[in-house]
Amino acid sequence: MDENTTNTDTPAVSLNDWKKPPTLLELKQDLSDARPIQTNHVTKVDAWLDNLNVTGKAKVKTPEGNSKIVPKLIRKQAEWRYAALSEPFLSTDDLFNVSPISWEDKEAARQNQILLNNQINTKMDKVSFIDEYVRTAVDEGTVIVQTGWRFEEEEYEEEEPIVQYVVNPEYGPMHEQLAQMLAESPSQYATDVPEELKQAHELTMEQGVPIQPVITGKQTVKKTRIKYNHPTAEICDIRNVVFDPTCLGNYELARFAVKTFESSLAELEATGKYKNLKKINISGNSILGTPDHAVPTDTQSFNFKDEPRKKFVVHEYWGYRDIDGSGKVVPIVAAWVGDQLIRLEENPYPDKALPFVVVQYLPVRKSIYGEPDGALLEDNQQIIGAVTRGMIDILAKSANGQTGIRKDMLDATNRRKFDKGMDYEFNANVDPRQGVYMHTYPEIPASAQFMLQLQNMEAESLTGVKSFSSGVSGASLGDVAAGVRGALDAASKRELGILRRLSAGICKIGRKFISMNSELLSEEEVVRVTNEEFVTVRRDDLAGNFDLKLSISTAEEDNNKAQELAFMLQTAGPTMDGSMSRMILAEIARLRKMPDLAKRIESFQPQPDPVAQQMQQLEMLHLQAKIAKENAMARHYESMPVLTDAKAGTEAAKQRNLDSDTDIKNLDFVEQESGVKQERDLQKVGEQARSQVALKEIDREIQRENKKFDLIKEYAKAKQ
């Protein structure tokens, strides 16, 4: 057997227990039926990229000696598009804004927002992803993003105690305390109680006798921990993804999608998703011999020689099939290499939809694919190239700088002097003004320059990108301010429309992240909000209904908003409340991309003038004293009629007091004679005694509970 050939005699493993699984032939048939439409569009994409980079068919064929230059009009406009479309996504760390549908989902929305922004900022290469996302849209007109989930564990070694479990009645109080802790505070039980003591408690509950864990030594054990557990987003090559053509432009309605990607036995084995890998014919499958898969130009002629690393093409099918003969379709995923099926299972993602998001740069009606600016500028670039090459050829074919001399004007000696730049003598019969001719460049016709200017203006009107030479300017619009403003506003709106489509695609990616987080995330994730603030996100708390939005705007739009707010602030003047002024100033700073200044403005608290503050306090004290004096005088005059009545009431009260003392003395005498007073004193003494006994019992109970906790503490110390 060849060393590069995998053993195909190994029996194949069953991939599922479905009643009616789709065959590999049926899956390939879907792919072959949809391939022509995708191939037709890929041909257009290749032409757009050729025009963008001036490669392939975009290169001109001219006679030898003529100019072959092609001005990169499309590339020039695209370079200005990249930054304008990327910056709104990269200028903020809080890209996602999650809003709850109902008040019950408010906390879940907050946690989802924190988690999403953390994942795109830290778990992904945000800058690289957004750059590729925007550049693919601008260059090819269509972006295809595949979402997924990355889960990877790593092994590590850790020392653990060797524990033996023996019966010990003395540990009964400890297990009572553990049972109480487990019932009252499960979180404290999980974090504070050692693992061997938890195991002993479980054995105690099972066997009904107190179990003591006895540490007899230590051992090194291998454990696993989660290394990666987060969603992913990959920009796909449009040449390697085929969609169901019956979806009529709405990829969410597609019944299947097939993607090809490069992999190896080692990579597939590491994922744990694939079976029958030993049945793959490595020698018969290679990235170099698969015509339906586009290989990057840099790796077209390279592949590994060893079997574990050798690259081959994997076809991955996502779609809906009837798997039990009921007539109802369910979402599935399949994968094959050559003629070997290596994966066939139900869609593992929570939303059960195709894991793709398709974004169009310039939408095409009833088509899943969009168009780039290059589709609009192809003719303009060709015209500019033809005119430019003609101008260059005219200049190149002129003998500029050459000097012609009539043969009979100079003899040999004077010719040498002329060539050396020395004074010379010429033939008297020849006028040197007629005998010497200096060649110059021919005059470029004004029509050529006008044509170039016209094509640049036409390119700008098609794309909305500001011109690089003349284009739309004040002069071309007749120096009318309204005209200039209208042109700039139109360009800004066009760019904002493109941004909204790109933003909608990012939102759809975020929604897939939310659905996957609610089921595939770890039970708890600690997320950093700021350098000083960390938030614990629980998977069970992420479920809910939410609105997902992205706040995007262009630099022109932000500038206009800032100017309008500044005008409002100026119009209100000093009459505006200070808090309102700070709010407007903070928003202006935020629009000017100065978030630190905006935060300082919002948190600014003006310090009062100490002199003015003291004056206000003195005025307040003076006013309070004046009010108190007036109130006292009013109370004095109001109390005059009451004084007479009060004196009479005092005398009556004195008489009632004398009568009351007499009654009390008489009652005390009667109780003593009857024994009632002695009985009351005895009851009082009894209640005091019972209270002291109860207090002593409570004290003993507290001491018993403390002894229980001391047992756990002593065990923890002994373990250490």
Residue 17 pLDDT: 85
The per-residue pLDDT for 186 is 77
Averaged pLDDT, 338-348: 92
HSE-up of residue 498 (Cα within 13 Å, Cβ side): 29
The pLDDT of residue 149 is above 60:
yes
Distance CA(402)–CA(390), nearest Å, equals 22
- How large is the average pLDDT for residues 6-26? 74
The mean predicted confidence, pLDDT, of the chain is: 79
- pLDDT at residue 136 greater than cutoff 90: yes
- Residue 239 pLDDT class (50, 70, 90 cuts): very high
Pairing type for strands 524-528 and 403-405 reads: unpaired
Average pLDDT over residues 595-619: 72
Would you report the helix, strand and coil content of the chain in percent, each value rounded to 5? 55, 15, 30
Q: Rounded CA gap, 199 and 161, in Å?
A: 13
**Residue 373 in contact with residue 77, Cβ under 8 Å?**
yes
Rounded CA-CA distance 375/44 in Å is: 9
pLDDT digits (tens, 9 = 90+) for 382-421: 999 889 888 888 887 776 677 888 888 888 888 888 888 8
Residue found by looking up tokens 């200017």 in the block: 453
Identify the residue with better confidence: 6 or 426: 426
Cβ-Cβ contacts under 8 Å for 135 (sequence gap 6 or more)? 82
Greatest mean pLDDT range, 323-337, 405-419, 518-532: 323-337
Q: How far apart are CA 400 and CA 76, in angstroms?
A: 32
* 120 DSSP 8-state letter: I
Task: Please give the structure tokens belonging to residue 57.
Answer: 């068919």
Sorting pLDDT into bands at 50, 70 and 90, what band is 112?
Answer: confident
What is the pLDDT, as a whole number, of residue 473?
39
pLDDT range class, residue 316, cuts 50, 70, 90: very high
Tokens 């207090």 locate to 695
pLDDT digits (tens, 9 = 90+) for 437-454: 877 777 788 888 888 888
Mean pLDDT, rounded, for 258-271: 91
- Would you place residue 488 in the very low, low, confident or very high pLDDT band (cuts 50, 70, 90)? very low
Give the residue, 379 or 111, on which the prediction is more confident: 379
Residue 130, phi then psi, degrees to nearest 5 = -65, -40
For position 22, what pLDDT does the model report? 92
Structure tokens belonging to residue 263: 């992999």
For residue 345, is pLDDT > 60? yes
DSSP for residue 371: B
Mean pLDDT of 691-705: 66
335 close to 279: Cβ distance less than 8 angstroms: no
Position 475 confidence tier, pLDDT thresholds 50, 70, 90: very low
Q: Residue 211: beta bridge partners?
A: 167
> Is the model more confident about 639 or about 313?
313
pLDDT at residue 299, rounded to an integer = 62
How far is it, in rounded angstroms, from Cα 717 to Cα 720?
5
Average pLDDT over residues 526-536: 61
Q: What was the pLDDT predicted at 240? A: 94
Where helices occur in 366-445 by DSSP H, the ranges are 374-397, 412-420, 432-435
DSSP 468: S
Return the top range by mean pLDDT from 16-25, 26-35, 678-687: 26-35
pLDDT class for 49, splitting at 50, 70, 90?
A: very high
Question: Taking 80 as the threshold, does the pLDDT of residue 647 lie above it?
Answer: no
Distance in angstroms (rounded) separating the CA atoms of residues 673 and 419: 159
DSSP per-residue letters across 619-661: HHHHHHHHHHHHHHHHHHHHHHHHHHHHHHHHHHHHHHHHHHH
Dihedral Cα 60, 61, 63, 68, nearest 10 deg: 30
- Which residue has better confidence, 582 or 334? 334
Residue 407: per-residue pLDDT: 84
Q: What per-residue confidence (pLDDT) applies to 454?
A: 87
